[in-house]
Structures are given as structure tokens and as C-alpha cells.
Amino acid sequence: MPYDDKERQIYELGERENILVSALGCEKYWVQFENSCYFSNQIPESQRKAFDRIRGRSAGMVEDIWFKYPHVKAACKRKDAHLVEIETKAENDFVKKLAQKVPNHSVWLGGADAAKEGTWVWPSSGKPFTFTDWWKSVDGRRGDEPDNYGKNGQDCLSLSKYDNYKAWHDSDCSDKHREGDFKGIICEKPVWLGGTDAAKEGTCKMPSFGKPFTFTDWWKSVDGRRAMNQIIMEKMAKTVSHCPNMTTIKRGMIAIVATN
């Protein structure tokens, strides 16, 4: 299965299940929840062999769908995204539902406690967890998660197919030969709004109508240390972002960036 077909399948599943909140903020094959866009790279097990045949003939042009943890950051970065970082119960419920749409393999999430055992953070921001959903034993035959099991320990966050993606697990991050876990990925990136000043710097318009902004809510620096053209939208403050450093985004596009 070509990579585009795999992505299209995820997109169509989202449409059928009414996951898509808006077609404006997320590019094709991504699904929107609140201020972020999400992408799951899972495909049905029944199509795995066909996908492997096509990928084997692609000379590396078709990306794999299972990764060890050290490679997942690059996989999401190629999509101008990062591994999903879950901050609320509502977002957690959405991510689990997205994983359950194409139940195939366990998936990596963005959390890790590699720097200090037991201190879980979101690596892209360095912020500690403010919400958790660890798997709990129901019969006492094994311990609750996180259990840091095995000789390498388990320092990276995942959802497991073995409990239908219902709770968080810690998993082996190792990249050593015959060690470490292979999993799929769920990537996250900002929602893009419709405004742009690509035609004329400083003149923001809504492209579909060609009309200039009649209302703005630009982020304002409180300490003067951040350049004014780096307009970052704080998720909770409901401000707006420019994000000129995202290489595949057209100059001047406006985004909501979840930074809290």
C-alpha cells in the first residue's frame, strides 16, 4: 500500500466517525481536536504484507510504520510535528479513540522519564506530566504501570494494543540490536488558521475571501526578550502564532501553537 493510501485510510476513518472538527486547521489525512492536529500511521494487519512489498521496492521512498523509540522523533519531525503530548482527559480520550480506529500495533506517545527515573516529562517542551492515565492491575498478578520492567528499564510512554489502547504503559526505549520495542506513532502539531500575510508582509488577510483582518488577538511580549515577529499563541490564552521557522509551511501562515 503506498504511503498516501495509508494516510488516506486514517483520514477517511476520521470522517466516518466524526473525529474531524474542522477541515480548515489541519492538512489532509490529519484529524483535529481542539488546537492540535493528529496523525496515526497505523494500517490494518490484513494490508501489512502488501505494504511491506511496496515499501521494499520503493528504494527508501516509502517510510516504515513501526519504529524503535530513538527514531520516532525524526519520523514526526518529517511531518513538522512531534510525538503526541497529552495534557487533559479530553485529549487523552481523543488520542485513545484515534489509536483504536485501526487497531494493529502498540503506539508511542511523547512522554519519557529517561533523564530521571520516575519523573515523567514531555521531551519536546520539558514540562512534567499534569495528567496521567497509567494502566492499573485488576487482579494483582502483575504490578501497576509504570513498572520499569526489564534489564534496560522502561523509560518511554506508549499505548498497548493488548489492552485495546485503554491506558498508558512504560516501554523499552532501547535501540540496541534485538532490544527495544517497535511501535507505531501518533504525531501532533499546531492547528493552522486561515490567515496569511504572504502576499504583503504585515497585511494579514483571509485567503478564501481576500478580506483583511477586522479583528486580531496577537500575542504581546511581557518582557521584551522575544522578537515581535515570533508571535506565539498560548493555548489557554487564545492568542495567535506566525511560526516562520516551520520549513514546509508557506511564509506568513497563521497558527495556534499549544505551548502550555
pLDDT at 8: 52
In degrees and rounded to multiples of 5, residue 121 shows phi and psi of -135, 165
- Reference 11, options 36, 25, 29, 32; nearest CA is 29
d(CA 230, CA 245): 9
Residue 66, classed as helix, strand or coil, is: coil
pLDDT confidence of residue 66: 81
Q: How confident is the model at residue 224 (pLDDT cuts 50, 70, 90)?
A: low
The burial of 255, by beta-carbon neighbours within 10 Å (0-12 exposed, 13-18 middle, 19 or more buried), is given as buried
Q: What is the pLDDT of residues 111-140, one digit of tens each?
A: 999 999 999 999 988 999 999 999 999 887
Q: Is the dihedral of CA 230, 231, 234, 237 positive or negative?
A: positive
Average of per-residue pLDDT across 165-180: 85
pLDDT in tens, 10-58: 445 444 444 433 345 688 778 999 889 999 988 777 777 887 888 888 7
The pLDDT score that the predictor gives to residue 222 is: 72
pLDDT confidence of residue 177: 61
Give residue 248's pLDDT band: very low, low, confident or very high (50, 70, 90): very low
67 pLDDT higher than 90: no
Q: Taking residues 182-187, what's their average pLDDT?
A: 90
pLDDT at 99 over 50: yes
- Lowest-pLDDT range of 37-46, 86-95, 199-208, 246-255: 246-255
Query: DSSP secondary structure string, 180-192?
Result: S--BEEEEEEEEE
Return the percentage of the chain with pLDDT > 90, whole number: 32
Amino acid at 177: H
Are residues 79 and 187 in contact, defined by beta-carbon separation less than 8 angstroms?
Answer: yes
User: What is the four-CA torsion angle of 82, 36, 66, 162, rounded to 10 degrees?
Assistant: 120
Do 165 and 96 contact (CB within 8 A), yes or no?
yes
pLDDT value of residue 216 = 77
pLDDT given at position 188:
95
Report the percent of the chain where pLDDT is more than 70.
Answer: 72
Reply yes or no on whether the pLDDT at 172 is more than 70.
Answer: yes
Band (256; pLDDT cuts 50, 70, 90): very low
Spell out the residues 6+ positions from residue 76 whose beta carbon is closer than 8 angstroms to its own.
82, 83, 185, 187, 188
Residue found by looking up cell 521496492 in the block: 57
The whole-number average pLDDT for the span 181-196 is: 83
SS3 category, 124 = coil
pLDDT band at 76 (very low <50, low <70, confident <90, very high): very high
pLDDT value at 70 more than 80: yes
For residue 178, CA distances in Å to 50, 68, 169, 173, 210 come to: 25, 11, 20, 12, 56
pLDDT at 143 over 80: yes
With a CB cutoff of 8 Å and minimum separation 6, the contacts of 166 are 96, 135
Average pLDDT, the chain: 75
Centre a 10 Å sphere on the Cβ of residue 42 and count the other Cβ atoms it contains.
26
Domains annotated on the chain, with CATH: 3-187 (3.10.100.10)
156 in helix, strand or coil?
strand
